[in-house]
């Protein structure tokens, strides 16, 4: 006899409730059009560029900081683009999809 059976015996009138799973609330503005995640080489070194965010610059800077800390890499925010050192397109796309963004992969 497992725990569920014992609880049913003790509380026969109880109806178990389904836990409500809420979508993760983001403090960033989510847009309808997809953000573009592309790969380039500058001076022989690979970089990943995220662009196409139409929200506030402060939100985009927060997103850049979070990506850099989660990936433990360097990067910057310039000219409405997030530049991440290295080829991290797949990981970045996963992180952005978790947050609720639409992401489009561009390039090789």
| CATH, residue 70 | 3.30.780.10
Taking the C-alpha atoms of residue 57 and residue 52, their distance in angstroms, rounded to an integer, is: 12
Q: Which residues contact 46 (CB under 8 A, 6 or more apart)?
A: 39, 40, 85, 86, 87
In terms of pLDDT, which residue wins out, 56 or 29? 56
pLDDT for res 24: 53
Q: Is residue 10 part of a domain?
A: no
Tens-digit pLDDT profile for residues 12-24: 887 777 777 655 5
Domain range spanning residue 98? Answer: 29-106
Please name which of 23, 31, 26 lies closest in space to residue 104, comparing C-alpha atoms: 31
Q: Is residue 13 part of a domain?
A: no
Q: Is residue 9 part of a domain?
A: no
- Reading the block at residue 61, the tokens are 């800077």
Q: Compute the mean pLDDT over every residue in the chain, rounded to the nearest whole number.
A: 85
Q: Is residue 2 part of a domain?
A: no
pLDDT at 28 over 70: no
Q: Is residue 24 part of a domain?
A: no
Q: Is residue 65 part of a domain?
A: yes
Q: Is residue 47 part of a domain?
A: yes
The structure's pTM equals 0.69
pLDDT for res 15: 78
pLDDT at 91 over 80: yes
Number of domains comprising the chain: 1
pLDDT for res 31: 72
Q: Is residue 101 part of a domain?
A: yes
């Amino acid at each position: 006899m497992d725990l569920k059976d014992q609880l049913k015996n003790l509380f026969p009138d109880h109806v178990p409730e389904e836990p409500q799973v809420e979508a993760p609330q983001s403090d960033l503005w989510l847009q309808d059009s997809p953000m573009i995640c592309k790969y380039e080489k500058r001076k022989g070194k690979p970089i990943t560029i995220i662009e196409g965010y139409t929200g506030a610059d402060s939100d985009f800077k927060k997103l850049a900081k979070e990506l850099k800390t989660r990936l433990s890499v360097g990067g910057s925010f310039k000219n409405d683009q997030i530049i991440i050192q290295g080829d991290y397109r797949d990981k970045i796309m996963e992180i952005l999809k978790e947050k609720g963004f639409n992401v489009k992969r561009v390039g090789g």
